[in-house]
Structure 1
């Protein structure tokens, strides 16, 4: 399913009305159609500003939350970005429009296969998707300019903080998985880390290890 002109207009209006004002982010979200990332019975709801279920008990995030997280990340054209939690692949596709290189990790092999097929269809050659335990990050490619985590941990994972370059930014939900979580922006400085609380959110929990599928 692809968006009609009217759906696209309403979709972008909904995102803007929730506070996504960065023109580069809006352009990326206009260019990357959410439709292909939503499958089956929920496909006709792809352009609603709502989270939807995907395979492996995961969700595709609400578009306005994707936009706000991406905006908070302040991705620059030369940046190397790590995403933890590929899910549908939608967030990584948005990041691909803003960064030089995107590495995205997912513990469920099936989700990586499905996301990779969409990346191939869209010719997103600057995205590397792999099955891995995202809580450990990707030490081989560190340090990263930006890190985005799309699952909630009780605290920012130590390995991910260690893989953020000085001056780099990480955006992630923090909190108990069954309670309201906070979206946090972490900036690495010469002397440590600065934390900024952005808004209340709700994400699936960050789980160590690989999935069974």
Structure 2
């Protein structure tokens, strides 16, 4: 019998630790929906997409997705005028919303998975996102994947993402409060896994939950002491790894806070 998957929005029931046991849940976060007309216009997003194309993003599916999602809905009202600039912005709790170019670059890499080879118009299957943040990348992934599972370990950000995404009513996006380092086995296997935090290495749990023909895109520690993007393909012959450009993401951590 197939396991019933959670509907939007959901939250994993964490295993309480000594540090989190008895902690009251965070207060609900109201969605930030700036009303500045210029920020909501298609023309503003179109200019952002043009810049992404000029920077080398070429996958039409990714460009369409970036143009479809209103990034200004995911940032604080004080920063709304910067929403479509190619810059990261703070979202609270020491976290940031990644630059549009970084989001587009990582999703474009994900769309290069072996399972999609020779299928320029195809969608990815089920995707696991590690680090929901404010929910922006999950909204973009919704346009290129058939289903998105997104895990966030910080309760405040999980609630904020729920509030931000409620406006869009995305039935195929599932938000979960949990430890991203262990993935989400109940939703596996995944056609793609994408991470917004970097650790010493890609956790073994992610590799186990990745389908054959699937791809992981994640930042990891590099030999030079910084971080670099790594792409891992799971093929019938085994794993193939490719280390790409230097990046800077928050550290990958376990547990729930």
Of 198-207 and 5-14, more deviation after overlay is shown by: 5-14
Q: TM-score, normalised by structure 1?
A: 0.93
Rounded Cα–Cα distance in structure 1 between residues aligned with 2:62 and 2:218: 18
Q: TM-score, normalised by structure 2?
A: 0.78
- The answer to whether 1:169 aligns with 2:206 is no
Rounded Cα–Cα distance in structure 2 between residues aligned with 1:96 and 1:6: 22
Residue 49 of structure 1 corresponds to 86
- Higher RCO (Cα < 8 Å, 6 or more apart): 2
Of 150, 153, 159, which aligns to 2:199?
Answer: 153
Question: CA offset at residue 143 of structure 1?
Answer: 1.2
CA contact (8 A) 2:134 2:164 kept: no
Of 238, 245, 248, which aligns to 1:192?
Answer: 238
Residue 13 of structure 1 corresponds to 50
Which segments of 5 or more consecutive residues in structure 1 lack a partner in the other structure? none
CA contact (8 A) 1:169 1:185 kept: yes
Q: Deviations over 1:122-171 (max 9, x none)?
A: 12111000100000000111111110011011111111111111111010
Residue 99 of structure 1 corresponds to 145
Question: CA offset at residue 197 of structure 1?
Answer: 1.9
Report 1:26-45 matches (<5 A): 26-45=63-82
Rounded Cα–Cα distance in structure 2 between residues aligned with 1:91 and 1:179: 27
CA contact (8 A) 1:119 1:127 kept: no
Rounded Cα–Cα distance in structure 2 between residues aligned with 1:19 and 1:52: 22
Q: Matched residue pairs, number? A: 210
- The answer to whether 1:89 aligns with 2:128 is no
CA contact (8 A) 2:181 2:254 kept: yes
Which segments of 5 or more consecutive residues in structure 2 lack a partner in the other structure? 1-33, 114-121
Question: CA offset at residue 113 of structure 1?
Answer: 1.4
Rounded Cα–Cα distance in structure 2 between residues aligned with 1:120 and 1:40: 18
Of 91-100 and 39-48, more deviation after overlay is shown by: 39-48
Question: CA offset at residue 189 of structure 1?
Answer: 1.4
Rounded Cα–Cα distance in structure 2 between residues aligned with 1:172 and 1:105: 14
CA contact (8 A) 1:86 1:92 kept: yes
Of 58, 62, 69, which aligns to 2:99?
Answer: 62
Question: CA offset at residue 78 of structure 1?
Answer: 5.4
Q: State which structure, 1 or 2, has the greater radius of gyration over its C-alpha atoms.
A: 2
Report 1:118-157 matches (<5 A): 118-157=164-203
Rounded Cα–Cα distance in structure 1 between residues aligned with 2:228 and 2:54: 20
CA contact (8 A) 1:3 1:47 kept: no
